[in-house]
């Protein structure tokens, strides 16, 4: 992709015209902004300091950042929005993440596992409704030995044209390889936070090192890898958020889920404040600039704190939405955080139709295919230059 020089200069001029921040901080900052944008548009790269600056209050012209991300999304990912249907097949979890309603210590939650046949029939219905990817998600539930999941994956892959994403937590390299061999296309394992000390506080029985190791195991098993983080965790600094983005870049992820932290009343963090829409959108926009060809969902968590946030996320670099297609009688039990009612209804077609309307109102379309990653394989990352026309 060649850079359209005039258009880039137009963009810089346009950027500079947002005088509010610039007036406050003088010429140095003007130069900084130019440099920052220049490097990210030409090299898809930002330093940690630059990221911290763009996330900080000192850089208040967030509109320009979101607009830049929207343009980059349009150039590299097009106007189509991919739908991924999530089947939350077990809410059992052996972990105790301090933010999550599914934590083992939450004994007030009724636990369920969906029978294999019901998982398959749910996926099959979703294919009929037009979904081309299902995401099988659960807590960390060792009831599902590797073979069991592999068997379910094989049955799902027998459905026509369906991509399968697994999201079942940390497992051994062998298990990941088995699932890939069974036909699973993608694996979603959020790193949650890239600050090892904060990670330890939030996950008493886990370590950041192991999380990172698992992500590299997934790479070695040849999955399309999704990771991501929460925004606004208690004790999370701007530096930690910058590290989150730099880790996503290092992993060269095919997908990055970035959503706000939402307090769940039956967890130790129940009275902490939620993450903000504003900071989440800035993180999403920066992820788009750093990873122009990654899939970036408008997360369910974002829709929970602001019903219009799906729209905003799709206009700040997002190109994926993930409606929950779990059979209705289990839905309220998969309560990682208090639920949103955005695009949720008893009718399995409702989520898709409702999101379809949001997507159409933005002049975008629903993608037809499975939406595999357009990126070159891991390790063969190349810089893509941004053309700033239109
Ligand atoms: N707020 C926001 N996201 C949460 N998750 C778990 N608990 C919360 C919460 N309270 C997210 C984590 C995890 C996924 C299953 O849900 O990012 O990876
Ligand atoms: Fe379990 Fe995942 Fe919730 Fe942690 S975040 S308690 S691993 S479901």
- Show me where the domains of the chain are located: 5-76, 77-366
Which residue out of 143, 169, 191, 262 has the highest number of ligand 2 atoms within 8 Å of its CB and is therefore the one to mutate?
Answer: 169
- Residue 86: strand pairing partners: 135, 324
CATH number listed for the domain at residues 77-366 = 3.20.20.70
CA distances from 58 to 24, 52, 297, 309 (A): 9, 10, 27, 23
CA distances from 371 to 113, 128, 177, 262 (A): 28, 17, 22, 29
Ligand 1, atom 18, lies closest to the CA of 190
3: three-class secondary structure by DSSP: coil
DSSP string, 74-108: HHHH-SEEEE-EEEEEE-------TT-TT-TT-TT
Residue-wise pLDDT tens for the chain (390 aa)? 333 333 333 333 334 333 333 344 445 555 566 677 677 877 888 889 889 989 998 766 788 889 889 999 999 999 999 999 999 999 999 999 999 999 999 999 999 999 999 999 999 999 999 999 999 999 999 999 999 999 999 999 999 999 999 999 999 999 999 999 999 999 999 999 999 999 999 999 999 999 999 999 999 999 999 999 999 999 999 999 999 999 999 999 999 999 999 999 999 999 999 999 999 999 999 999 999 999 999 998 998 889 899 999 999 999 999 999 999 999 999 999 997 655 666 566 777 788 889 999 999 999 998 888 888 888 766 677 777 544
- Residue 133: strand pairing partners: 163
Residues within 6 Å of ligand 1 by CB: 99-100, 190, 192, 230, 259, 261-262, 264, 301, 336-337
Closest atom of ligand 1 to CA, residue 167: 15
- Spatial separation of the C-alpha atoms in residues 346 and 58, rounded to whole Å: 45
374: three-class secondary structure by DSSP: coil
pLDDT tens, 158-177?
Answer: 999 999 999 999 999 999 99
Residue 67 has phi, psi (to 5 degrees) of -65, -40
CA distances from 118 to 79, 121, 122, 349 (A): 34, 5, 6, 17
* pTM > 0.85: yes
CA of 99 to the centre of ligand 2 (A): 8
Contact 152, 113 (CB under 8 A): no
pLDDT at 383: 74
Contact 289, 68 (CB under 8 A): yes
379: three-class secondary structure by DSSP: coil
């Amino acid at each position: 992709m060649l850079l359209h020089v005039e258009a880039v200069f137009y963009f810089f001029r346009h950027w500079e015209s947002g005088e509010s921040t610039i007036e406050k901080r003088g010429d140095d900052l003007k130069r900084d902004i130019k440099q920052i944008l220049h490097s990210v548009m030409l090299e898809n790269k930002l330093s940690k300091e630059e990221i911290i600056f763009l996330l900080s209050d000192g850089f208040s012209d967030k509109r320009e950042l979101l607009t830049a991300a929207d343009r980059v999304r349009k150039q590299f990912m097009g106007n189509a929005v991919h739908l991924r249907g999530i089947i939350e097949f077990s809410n059992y979890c052996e972990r105790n993440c301090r933010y999550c309603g599914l934590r083992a210590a939450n004994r007030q939650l009724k636990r369920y596992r969906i029978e294999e046949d019901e998982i398959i029939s749910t996926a099959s219905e979703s294919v009929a409704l037009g979904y081309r990817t299902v995401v099988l998600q659960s807590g960390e539930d060792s009831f599902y030995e590797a073979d069991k999941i592999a068997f379910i994956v094989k049955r799902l892959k027998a459905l026509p044209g369906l991509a399968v994403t697994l999201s079942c937590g940390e497992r051994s390299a062998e298990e990941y390889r088995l699932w890939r061999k069974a036909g699973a296309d993608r694996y979603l394992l959020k790193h949650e936070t890239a600050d090892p000390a904060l990670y330890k506080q939030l996950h008493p029985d886990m370590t950041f090192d192991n999380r990172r190791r698992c992500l590299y195991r997934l790479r070695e098993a040849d999955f399309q890898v999704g990771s991501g983080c929460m925004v606004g965790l208690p004790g999370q600094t701007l530096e930690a958020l910058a590290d989150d983005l730099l880790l996503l870049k290092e992993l060269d992820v095919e997908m990055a889920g970035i959503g706000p932290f939402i307090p769940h009343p039956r967890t130790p963090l129940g009275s902490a404040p939620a993450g903000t829409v504003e900071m989440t959108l800035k993180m999403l926009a920066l992820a788009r600039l750093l990873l122009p060809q990654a899939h970036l969902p408008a997360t369910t968590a974002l829709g929970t704190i602001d019903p219009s946030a799906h729209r905003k996320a799709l206009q700040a670099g997002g190109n994926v939405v993930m409606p929950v297609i779990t059979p209705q009688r289990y839905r309220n039990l998969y309560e990682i955080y208090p639920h949103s009612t955005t695009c949720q209804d008893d009718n399995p077609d409702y989520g898709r139709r409702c999101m379809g309307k949001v997507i159409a109102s933005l002049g975008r379309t629903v993608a037809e295919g499975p939406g595999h990653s357009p990126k070159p394989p891991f390790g063969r990352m190349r810089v893509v230059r941004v053309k700033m026309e239109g």
